[in-house]
Structure formats: structure tokens, C-alpha cells
Amino acid sequence: MRVAPSILSADYARLAEEVESTRAEADALHVDVMDAHFVPNLTIGPPVVRWIRKHTDLYLDCHLMMDDPGRYLRAFREAGADGCSVHVEVGKTGELIAQMRELGLGTGLAVNPETPLDDVLPWLADIDLLLVMTVHPGFGGQSFMEEVVGKIARARQAIDERGLAVEIEVDGGIDPVTAPVVARAGARLLVAGSAIFGAPDRVEAARRIREAAASVIRLESARVGKEPGTGGDR
């Protein structure tokens, strides 16, 4: 299980310290980019990514909630982004994936809660990461949408059936209660904003999320191990 703190809930005026406060339990840093068109909110762009890059060696996982991410992919790469995720809802998916690959970016495809899994299935073989939104994108601190769990499980099944190495990332309302639910469904990279930055001890908060998810996976593999051939309950 991997955990990516989302800086959307951090104090942007103290960003380097905020990132560092999660460092011991962070596997990546989730950077939310919002353009006020694709979502009704506005955050940051490549210049801020460039400054973050100077202060941390964490993998910078940039979630581009933008209508026209293609115009900015190179700028994010040059600023030091390691991976970007573009939304399938904005279209031109094939072109955007090719562009991310060419730039040497980790290649992610994000899918909103109401968008059917069918829209991403044709791209699974071409991406590294499937980012399943478990809230409507735009704001931190929203409630986890339980109805997306089935989609995570179906994505896991499609990835496994095709023998692909696509990682499933989930974003929105992740905390120690919801983490085991998404882990059981097949997510392995958990984004958490308010549950980490809203806690007095960020390292402890991230550790609790990871542990809650990991323990359910351990139980599941023990159970599957004891009953060979059952293949789990996916």
C-alpha cells in the first residue's frame, strides 16, 4: 500500500515545511492542479511545482483537473513533475497519453465518479496509473462516495485479467475508515488531503491510513492462501 498526501489541504504559504511534515510516511506527493474550467476551483501550476521540486525528492504526482492539459504537460515536466494524470472526460486521450510518454512522464488517466469504467478500458494497456475519483473533483474535505467502490473492483479485475501492471490510485475522502474499503476493492495508491494535513501529527495520520489498508490486504491474502483456488471475492 502506498500513500500520497494531497497538498490541496496544506498551508500553501508554508509548502516546503508542510511537505516535509509528511515525508516519513509519504510515498509520493499528490499535487492538485485546477483550472477553474474543468472544476469550479483554481489552484496552482508549473511555477509552484518547480518550487516544490527544489524542496523534496518525493515523486510528484500531478493531478491535472484541466480542460486543456495538453498545453501544459511539457511545462509540468520541465518544472519537475514525475507523473501526470489527465481526465478521460476532457477527450483527446490517445494524444495526451502519447504526449506524456514522449515527455517521460508517468502516465495517468483519471476518471470522475459519474463516468463509466467503459470510457477508460480502451486505454488500460497504455497507462501506468488509473486515478479513480471517489469524490467530485474540485475541493478537499468531501465525503467518500461509496458508490464508486464497485468501479474500483471492476477496474482491478479488468487490469488483472489482462495481466497489466496499471496501478489504481484513489482520490477523495480517504481516511482510516475508507482506506480498507478501497484497498479491498483493489486500490494500491491512496491519496489523502484533509485526513493527513488536518491532523496534528501528519506522519501518524498517514501511517494509520496505510496500516488500515494494509491489514485488510494481509487478511485477504491469508484467507485466499488458506483456500487455494478460490481467488478471493473480487
- Out of 60, 191, 199, 206, the residue judged to bind ligand DX5 by CB under 6 A: 191
Give the chain's length: 234
One symbol per residue from 125 to 164: x for binding ligand DX5 (CB under 6 A), - otherwise; what is it? ----------x-xx-xxx----------------------
- Out of 171, 187, 210, 212, the residue judged to bind Zn ion by CB under 5 A: 171
Binder of residue 90, out of Zn ion, ligand DX5, none (CB less than 5 to 8 A by kind): none
Residues in region 45-64 near Zn ion by CB under 5 A: 63
C-alpha cell at position 49 = 511545482
As to burial, measured by CB atoms within 10 angstroms (0-12 exposed, 13-18 middle, 19+ buried), residue 134 is buried
Part of the chain binding Zn ion (CB under 5 A), chosen from 24-32, 71-79, 84-92, 223-231: 24-32
Query: How near is the Cβ of 23 to ligand DX5 at its closest, in Å?
Result: 18
3-state SS, residue 220: helix
CA distance 77 to 222: 41
- Out of 18, 25, 32, 128, the residue judged to bind ligand DX5 by CB under 6 A: 32
Considering Cα of 136, then 141, then 142, then 144, what sign does the dihedral take?
Answer: positive
Q: Which residues pair with 130 in a beta bridge?
A: 109, 168
Query: What are the residue numbers of the active site?
Result: 32, 171
Q: Which residues pair with 129 in a beta bridge?
A: 108, 167
DSSP 23: G
Site for ligand DX5, rule CB under 6 A? 6, 8-9, 30, 32, 63, 135, 137-138, 140-142, 171-174, 191-195
